[in-house]
Structure 1
Amino acid sequence: MIRRETGESVLAQRAARRLGLQAAGLASAIVVLLSAAAVTVVISSQHEAVATLLDSALTHADDVNDPPAEIWLARQNAGGILVTPGMPVGLPDMAAIERAATSGMGESQDYRAAGVEYRIDTIRQPDGTVVQGVLDLTANHAARNMLLAVLLGAGAIGLLLAAVAGTWLGHRALRPLSAALTLQRRFVTDAGHELRTPVTLLNTRAQLLRRRMCAGTGTDPAVDDLDRIIADTARLGEILEDLLIVSDPVAERPRERVDVAAIARDVLTAVGPEATDRGVRLTGPDPAAAPQYVHGSPVALRRAVMALVDNAVRHATRSVTISAETRDREILLDVSDDGPGIDPEVAPRLFERFASGQSRPSERRRRYGLGLALVSEIAAGHHGRVELLDQEGPGAALRLRLPASAEGPKIV
């Protein structure tokens, strides 16, 4: 049986993988910091141990025949230089001995020969004898390399375990959210599917009724209203399709080149009867003006413009005005009304869901449900935004900003 992955499960898996990678990244940063601290402490300890061992050997060196393990001594006195048998080739460092004999100052340096690193300390004793100690650092380097190998191995295993644990925990943490999103999407898709059929039937019956009314003279004034009903039901079907697309988290709206000014005029025609009933005069973009093209979803953009206009008509006193222009590679669609205006206190959250406010105590409350919030989401989905404009006098003005489209065929 093949299991089909839903959009929510795909998003949950991506989020879980991101959590796993983030956990691995955090673990790697912690491992690197701890490893660096551990290596620093070990190297510092080794340097102190080497310095202490050489200092003790040089201070208590009565002869060169019995030094501590891995140490060779050289002594210079009036009788010449004595060297521990088996001293590495190229040593002792006679130049360092001469400098110590002349200046009386001790010195320390590293020396490498045949792939082996040595530490050389040279001092002058109170009786004038210069003593030089040579320590083989092979054991120190081996211990340090072993520590680095252990840290790297443990770090790699830790990163792998952190990634696996982070991904597993992410799956567990996101499972309830994925289930909730699946349930929500199922509700939207089921509702959209159930509404699609009656909307289609309503549109079909309206077309049949129009044909019967036009079978005679075709002069019945109700024909225009039927045309509007047919257009509105067609738009409603498009909105349902758009909502179904939006409900799928991995789906994308089809994008086309759209004339926003033409959409605004079409919206004004649709809301005309309601505006007339309310006694509101509508003024839209001049049909003779240049088109205002954007690249986006015609259905979604029409929903945004419809929400702005519907909000303005519901709150207007006498008039609503829509204008569209291109400015600085942006399409600016302004919708203004002469209603009660917007409460300054609610302005910062105007595009949140179910915001409400009151401009003056003596005026009616101006309410906002989902409309302006949906406008903000649609604008953001088109790389634009919606904003409240400063306006002198009564009323409110909202502006929809969208990136202008340069070229291509017009599709509305």
Structure 2
Amino acid sequence: MTPAPASGDAETLRRASLKVALRITAACAVLVLCLLAAATAFLMYKLANPVLPGSTAPGKTYTYLDSKDLIEGMILAGLAGVVLAGVVGWLSARSAIRPLGEALARQRQFVQDASHELRTPLTILDTRIQLAQRKADPGSETGQALARIREDAGTMTGIVNELLLAATGGAADAADPVDVASVGRSVTADLQDLAAQQGVRLVFTSSGAPSARIDSGSLRRAVLALADNALTHTPDGGTITISASVEGSFAVLQVADTGAGITGVDPDRIFDRFVRAPGPGNAPGKRSFGIGLALVREIASGAGGTVKVARTGPDGTTMRLALPVARD
């Protein structure tokens, strides 16, 4: 059985069908008007240069038409043709877009099923981490590692919940103010081991107390994606600086690296899906699909903010994430 599209998808498909039908109708209307104009011009030419039959033409019948009636008849026929074209265009557009609706419904159903199935093992994983934490001293190296692992598991659970929410078409709850500096500091701490393995120095700085209304998990994923991109393009011995500050009415978080800059692609397109910039020649092999930065832009725009390349060149690149400051 083919799943029915969600209400949001059905409305989107209806608008798409209407748009296609209107385009078909507009094209037909232009064609009809051109034909009417040509027919009218020809008729006016004939009226201006009449060819009258001779009075001595036996056995022939001639019919005379009023030009006004003829023009009105052509106009009515043209309008009927436009309306018919609109109806045919609407039916054709709905028929053509129906497979797209079925594909969207299957996609949503798959995401719903996959997200629901992933929640159970993630819950079990979190429970096992908690049991392990009870046997470890919270201040020990093992206890701190388990705390970070549980935080990562919580992030994965948040991602799954957001996928399930997006697939069901539900509305997200209003986000509470989030300390942007705290999220940046947490990401910096979590990536220290990875940065050390690549021979990269990772530091965090903060000025002021920036806060924004955004889901903390979404903000964390955005900062992680920016920092991960910087790690990919920073060679051994380089430095990555994550900084948080307040600039006017925006909470700003910047990720600056000392790589070779963005080359081979327009910096304005770096946040488009599947756009990838080549990394340094001595960077560890890492496959990229060009999706991470696109997700950052979606997260930023969803919170009313922006993300852009603030600076790029041979001495490095700076990514700037700006979110509206949370007002009480």
Please state which band the TM-score falls in when normalised by the shorter chain. 0.7 to 0.9
Q: CA deviation at 1:165?
A: 1.8
Does structure 1 retain, via aligned residues, the 8 Å contact 2:210–2:252? no
Partner of 1:17: 18
What does residue range 90-101 of structure 1 map to in structure 2 within 5 Å?
Answer: none
Does structure 1 retain, via aligned residues, the 8 Å contact 2:21–2:90? yes
Of 367, 375, 381, the match for 2:296: 375
| Amino acid in structure 2 at the alignment position of 1:169 | S
Of 303, 312, 325, the match for 1:390: 312
What is the SS of the residue equivalent to 1:353? coil
Partner of 1:186: 109
| Amino acid in structure 1 at the alignment position of 2:295 | L
Partner of 1:309: 227
Q: CA deviation at 1:350?
A: 4.1
Partner of 2:195: 275
Give the structure-2-normalised TM-score.
0.75
Deviations 1:297-352 (A, max 9, x none): 4433322211111232355434320123444755543212234x346224556444
Whole-angstrom CA distance in 2 between matches of 1:363 and 1:291: 33
- Answer yes or no: is 1:34 the counterpart of 2:35: yes
Partner of 2:59: none
Q: CA deviation at 1:21?
A: 1.8
- Answer yes or no: is 1:147 the counterpart of 2:76: no
| Amino acid in structure 1 at the alignment position of 2:122 | V
| Amino acid in structure 1 at the alignment position of 2:152 | D
Partner of 1:168: 91
Partner of 1:177: 100
Whole-angstrom CA distance in 2 between matches of 1:353 and 1:324: 28
Does structure 2 retain, via aligned residues, the 8 Å contact 1:356–1:367? no
Structure 2: gaps of 5 or more residues: 53-63
What is the SS of the residue equivalent to 1:31? helix
**Alpha carbons of structure 1 residues 387 and 380: separation in structure 2 relative to 1, 3 Å:** farther
Percent identity over the alignment is 31
What is the SS of the residue equivalent to 2:308? strand
Deviations 1:126-154 (A, max 9, x none): xxxxxxxxxxxxx98x6414532x33432
Partner of 1:290: 209
Q: CA deviation at 1:275?
A: 3.3
Whole-angstrom CA distance in 2 between matches of 1:254 and 1:32: 52
What does residue range 114-133 of structure 1 map to in structure 2 within 5 Å?
Answer: none
- Answer yes or no: is 1:238 the counterpart of 2:158: yes
Whole-angstrom CA distance in 1 between matches of 2:320 and 2:252: 6
Does structure 2 retain, via aligned residues, the 8 Å contact 1:357–1:366? no
Deviations 1:74-103 (A, max 9, x none): xxxxxxxxxxxxxxxxxxxxxxxxxxxxxx
Whole-angstrom CA distance in 1 between matches of 2:38 and 2:214: 54
Q: Which has the larger share of strand? A: 1
What does residue range 249-264 of structure 1 map to in structure 2 within 5 Å?
Answer: 253-254=172-173, 256=175, 257-264=177-184
Q: Which has the larger share of helix? A: 2
Give the structure-1-normalised TM-score.
0.62
**Alpha carbons of structure 1 residues 269 and 358: separation in structure 2 relative to 1, 3 Å:** closer
Does structure 1 retain, via aligned residues, the 8 Å contact 2:262–2:317? no
Whole-angstrom CA distance in 1 between matches of 2:250 and 2:33: 48
Whole-angstrom CA distance in 1 between matches of 2:276 and 2:18: 37
What is the SS of the residue equivalent to 1:357? coil
Q: CA deviation at 1:201?
A: 1.7
Paired residue total: 307
Partner of 2:146: 226
**Alpha carbons of structure 1 residues 386 and 368: separation in structure 2 relative to 1, 3 Å:** farther
**Alpha carbons of structure 1 residues 251 and 32: separation in structure 2 relative to 1, 3 Å:** farther
What is the SS of the residue equivalent to 1:302? helix
Partner of 2:242: 322
Whole-angstrom CA distance in 1 between matches of 2:140 and 2:294: 41
- Answer yes or no: is 1:202 the counterpart of 2:125: yes
What is the SS of the residue equivalent to 2:242? strand
Does structure 2 retain, via aligned residues, the 8 Å contact 1:20–1:170? yes
Structure 1: gaps of 5 or more residues: 54-138
Q: CA deviation at 1:195?
A: 1.1
Whole-angstrom CA distance in 2 between matches of 1:301 and 1:186: 27
**Alpha carbons of structure 1 residues 365 and 184: separation in structure 2 relative to 1, 3 Å:** same
Of 276, 286, 294, the match for 1:355: 276
Whole-angstrom CA distance in 2 between matches of 1:213 and 1:277: 26
Does structure 2 retain, via aligned residues, the 8 Å contact 1:16–1:167? yes
**Alpha carbons of structure 1 residues 309 and 30: separation in structure 2 relative to 1, 3 Å:** same
